[in-house]
Structure 1
Amino acid sequence: MTAHFGPKHEEELVNDVDVTTVDGSRQWSPDGVTPGGEGRSIPAVDGVRHRFVDTPRLRFHVAEAGSGEPVLLLHGWPQHWWAWRKVIPLLAGDHRVICPDLRGFGWTDAPRSGYRTEELVDDLIALLDVMGLERVLVVGHDVGGRLGFHLSLRDPTRVRRLVTLNAVHPYWSARSMGASGALRSWWTPLVETPLLGRQVVRHLPAFTRMMLRLGAVDRDVLSPDEVAEYVAATREPARARASERLMYEFAYHEIIPTLRGRNRSRRLTVPTLMLNGERDVRLSPHSLGGWEPYADDLSVRVVPGGGHMLAEQHADLVTEEIRAFFATGRQPG
């Protein structure tokens, strides 16, 4: 697996990127970057192909590799598809790995609205429909894990199995989060506050660097160039606004209804594995409990020494867990 930065990759992408429209036709993207990416080069990962998929809701950038049963990898904040660069080649041997950039991130469109959880799930369903994917395996990190849970609650027929990394389940409560959970969210007002959040993300790159470093736990997990890739992607004006809107919608419109139990009337029937890091700075260990009355088949694994960036810190271990879990319950033939 090799990652490249900067202008070098613009040439490598010329024959690798196409656009898939709603009717399934394809159009080549001659410069290898989406108009939503403001000219940024897409970092390369060996064996990964890129395309843009037009849905009725927005245009997605999608990175793909391999063939076989499709697995949808959903990134967290403040990242994009490239957060899976170490996992993709490990899964692509026998899976079709599909890594979209979520609304507002990476090279996917960044409109002003549409960042509530249910709207982001609508985005994913539209993407699956256009790509002709009736049922997939799902792995989600952070925000992507939240979306994986809610996609599974909304339409369990679309998800065969779900793995979440460093994500809170949809049945959390004040008791399960605890005081330490609130303390771990000290940073969120800096991003979720209207008008302030976009300015922090755009004009204070040291803040995003700090969040990435804290999440990685060990400094050697992310190189300076890798941190710079994520920081550059979030500093674009529309994407800085997207970070603010994502956090705002969750903080102002979703936390209270969740605490009041709005998700407890929906049972989680999709077999699910939660992977969390022992040293995760964002999620309290208490947040891993409280799901028992509402989920049919959910198990939890805590990775010793793991931080918030499990896919980048412990790619081999994470992939082993994913593959073993996906192999369970696989239909013969």
Structure 2
Amino acid sequence: MIAGFEYRRVPVADGVSLNVAVGGAGSPIVLLHGFPQTHLMWRYVAAELAADHEVVCPDLRGYGDSDKPVGDYSKRTMAADVVALARELGHERFALVGHDRGALVAFRAGLEYPEAVTHLACLDVLPTVDMWDVMRGVTAAVGFHLFLMAQPPGLPERLIGGSPDAFFGHFLDAWATEPMPAEVRAAYLDACRAAVPSIVADYRASAGVDLDHDRADRDAGNRLRMPVAVLQQDWDAALGFDAAALWGEWASDLRHTIVGFGHFMAEEAPAEVVRALRELLASP
């Protein structure tokens, strides 16, 4: 749990409630976690931002202690969850930050709810359509899990469910630049072990309906209207593409930063993440 935060269950859709940590006071900011994590990944960043913001940290649909319905895990549906959550808490407008999977949800919310999202930050991710465009050749091996979980229902769930700690633990270890605290790593593994079908459904959506939605927006020339910040590892060196240029196609008011820390940046470099978010939030 995030120390000093109040925990609630907030209904966001028929039969779906999210586990949410809320703390601080001031203008609202919603923080969305990535894979294979829960809202706990924001524990350092949330505590700092709570000095002058109301900070809202949900477990996404299908993750952590939130409900795990069978069916729709499109980012459109998950973005609607986030907007409904904010409204249930009394906020029609809010800043939105996402990491990894949560950044894909935040990106979709920014496109579809520009009247609600005042500022948008995406940490270490590409929009779905761009990700699939650049993942090719032997370098795509770094994203093997994307291809595994894109397969039709059945096989991915059985393979991952047969050894969930080995599967999810691989990413917790391989993507970290320093060992994760044992109790935090254990909490993430516990949460993932109980959520294999919904996590797979989330990823499967990104090879189907999410890709369709991104393509439609790109073809229509739809762009993010709010100030946008992107923090990203140097993927160009490893995969051979210009991440800043790809993001520039989606956002006119863009602050794209290549960082020197790892994927789990909110846990490994929280001061730098907070600084970048405060700079974004200072934008009109």
* TM-score normalised by structure 2 residue count: 0.89
Name stretches of at least 5 consecutive residues in structure 2 with no aligned partner. none
- Does residue 216 (structure 1) correspond to residue 173 (structure 2)? The answer is no
User: 1:39 — aligned with what?
Assistant: none
Identity level (%): 29
Q: Secondary structure at the match of 2:242?
A: helix
* Amino acid of the structure 2 residue aligned with 1:54: P
- How well do the aligned residues superpose, as a CA RMSD in angstroms? 2.5
* Match runs of 1:296-311 below 5 Å: 296-304=252-260, 306-311=261-266
User: Partners of 1:296 and 1:183 in 2: how far apart?
Assistant: 32
User: 2:69 — aligned with what?
Assistant: 111
- State the Cα deviation string for residues 30-83 of structure 1 (Å, max 9, x = none): xxxxxxxxxxxxxx3321110111233311111011110100000111111101
User: Partners of 1:88 and 1:105 in 2: how far apart?
Assistant: 19
User: Contact 2:129–2:211 at 8 Å: present in 1 too?
Assistant: no
* Amino acid of the structure 2 residue aligned with 1:63: A
User: 1:144 — aligned with what?
Assistant: 102
- Does residue 195 (structure 1) correspond to residue 154 (structure 2)? The answer is yes
User: Partners of 2:36 and 2:233 in 1: how far apart?
Assistant: 18
User: 1:30 — aligned with what?
Assistant: none
> What's the CA shift for 1:100?
0.8
* Match runs of 1:1-333 below 5 Å: 44-57=1-14, 58-169=16-127, 172=130, 179=137, 182-193=140-151, 194-204=153-163, 205-219=165-179, 222-236=180-194, 239-255=195-211, 258=214, 260=215, 262-265=217-220, 266-278=222-234, 286-304=242-260, 306-329=261-284
* Amino acid of the structure 1 residue aligned with 2:176: A
User: Partners of 2:279 and 2:58 in 1: how far apart?
Assistant: 23
- State the Cα deviation string for residues 203-231 of structure 1 (Å, max 9, x = none): 31111101111121322xx1222211111
* Amino acid of the structure 2 residue aligned with 1:251: A
Name stretches of at least 5 consecutive residues in structure 1 with no aligned partner. 1-43
* TM-score normalised by structure 1 residue count: 0.77
Greater gyration radius:
1
Between the two structures, name the one with larger relative contact order (CA 8 Å, sep ≥ 6): 2
User: Partners of 1:139 and 1:173 in 2: how far apart?
Assistant: 19
User: Partners of 1:62 and 1:282 in 2: how far apart?
Assistant: 36
User: Partners of 2:111 and 2:5 in 1: how far apart?
Assistant: 30
Q: Secondary structure at the match of 2:7?
A: strand
User: Partners of 1:50 and 1:286 in 2: how far apart?
Assistant: 40
Q: Secondary structure at the match of 2:115?
A: helix
User: Contact 1:184–1:282 at 8 Å: present in 2 too?
Assistant: no
* Amino acid of the structure 1 residue aligned with 2:277: I
* Amino acid of the structure 2 residue aligned with 1:197: P
Q: Structure 1 residues 218 and 97, CA, compared in 2 at 3 Å: closer, same or farther?
A: same
User: Partners of 2:212 and 2:243 in 1: how far apart?
Assistant: 16
Q: Structure 1 residues 242 and 284, CA, compared in 2 at 3 Å: closer, same or farther?
A: farther
